[in-house]
Amino acid sequence: MTLTDMHAIAIARPGGPEALELQRLPRPACRDGEVLIRVAAAGVNGPDLAQRRGHYDPPPDASPLPGLEVAGEIAALGTGVTTWQVGDRVMALTNGGGYAEYAAVPAGQVLPIPDGWSFAEAAALPETWFTVTQTLVMRAGLEPGMTVLVHGASGGIGGAAIQISAILGARAIGVVSSPDKADYAARLGAFATIDHTGEDIATRALALTDGKGVDRVVDIIGGKMAEQNIAASARGGHIVQVSTLDGSTASLSLRAIMAKQLTLSGSTLRPQTSATKAAIADRIRTDLLPALSRPGFIRPSVARFPLAEAAEAHRAMEARRHMGKIVLITSFGADTSS
């Protein structure tokens, strides 16, 4: 392999995990305002699975390779970049191309790795923390003292929502599917959990809030869960739809939404402008990042796969049995004990 090549995972064709192929490709060019990151670890997320299936095309100016978050070291600086230096340890939200040994990223989407965090742990943060900061914090106006119902509480989005809520003084109720996942959500900071396999979510949420209901909902499930979210919400509540794992359509009671004066909002992160993503990064840097370096802060559980085993990582994510995040480790990451 030459000094201008790299190993990367490409999508050979839309389909199952077997569509992911390890290939030798040219390293990306570092354009004006970008940094080139030597990737040690890359996070695996739901949008990556959707892109692999052919359902989530990248923006026209983005890399066609999957991968929306990375951690590593800055290898080069594009023209106009003054906030970073070659060799800095960073984590970043990419616009694509994270499943590779090198990734070019707009400088505004890059953050320093928290003190004491490994590359693998840091790579598990950007996509989910940017998503939750954009939707729950900036758009839904999360405030101290609010109660937040968090679906998928043991996963990446859910774990981020629990920890961000705790940092900002809100109280999270985690919705889970097993005692082990309930324990994990509690370790992250949930003050209570609901096992949806044996409890009615809305009934339990109302009981936990003395009949008031929850102020905010973070939902990745969709489908029939929409009815539960409305029933569990307090007057003036805000339901944040982040994903639709169990269905993109739902039957809703408009009268219930009107009676409770609810807001239902949805958003996807990848199509947002560089300016919007940079604004989210600034909010994370100011309001959230300092907490991650505190002694005793609980880091997310991370399952590691070599970059070449990206297909197995996708199979593990589709099985929905993991807790925390799944990350891919490059040869550089393996050499640096990420």
pTM, to two decimals: 0.94
Give the pLDDT confidence of 70-94 residue by residue, as tens digits.
Answer: 999 999 999 999 999 999 999 999 9
* Burial category of 200 from C-beta neighbours within 10 Å (exposed 0-12, middle 13-18, buried 19 and up): middle
Task: Please report, rounded to a whole number, the percentage of residues in the chain having pLDDT higher than 90.
Answer: 86
pLDDT value of residue 301: 93
Report the mean per-residue pLDDT for the chain: 94
| Per-residue tokens: 103 | 């990734």
**How many CA atoms, within 13 angstroms, populate the side-chain half-sphere of residue 157?**
27
Give the pLDDT confidence of 132-166 residue by residue, as tens digits.
Answer: 999 999 999 999 999 999 999 999 999 999 999 99
pLDDT tier at 13, thresholds 50, 70, 90: very high
What 3 state SS string does 10-73 have? EECCCCCHHHEEEEEEECCCCCCCEEEEEEEEEEECHHHHHHHHCCCCCCCCCCCCCCCEEEEE
| Per-residue tokens: 151 | 């679906």
Q: How far apart are CA 215 and CA 236, in angstroms?
A: 7
Q: How far apart are CA 48 and CA 66, in angstroms?
A: 6
pLDDT value of residue 251: 83
- The answer, yes or no, to whether residue 201 has pLDDT greater than 60, is yes
pLDDT tier at 327, thresholds 50, 70, 90: very high
pLDDT value of residue 126: 97
- The answer, yes or no, to whether residue 216 has pLDDT greater than 60, is yes
pLDDT value of residue 246: 78
Give the pLDDT confidence of 166-196 residue by residue, as tens digits.
Answer: 999 999 999 999 999 999 999 999 999 999 9
pLDDT value of residue 337: 60
Going by C-alpha positions, the residue among 132, 50, 54, 60 that lies closest to residue 93 is 132
- The answer, yes or no, to whether residue 250 has pLDDT greater than 90, is no
pLDDT value of residue 267: 86
What single-letter amino acid sits at 326? I
- The answer, yes or no, to whether residue 335 has pLDDT greater than 90, is no
- The answer, yes or no, to whether residue 336 has pLDDT greater than 90, is no
- The answer, yes or no, to whether residue 247 has pLDDT greater than 80, is no
What are the start-end ranges of the H helices in 124-240? 126-132, 156-167, 179-188, 201-208, 225-232
Whether residue 194 contacts residue 174, with contact meaning beta carbons closer than 8 Å, is answered with yes
- The answer, yes or no, to whether residue 248 has pLDDT greater than 70, is yes
pLDDT value of residue 236: 97
pLDDT value of residue 217: 97
| Mean per-residue pLDDT, 210-239 | 94
Give the pLDDT confidence of 97-130 residue by residue, as tens digits.
Answer: 999 999 999 999 999 999 999 999 999 999 999 9
pLDDT value of residue 222: 85
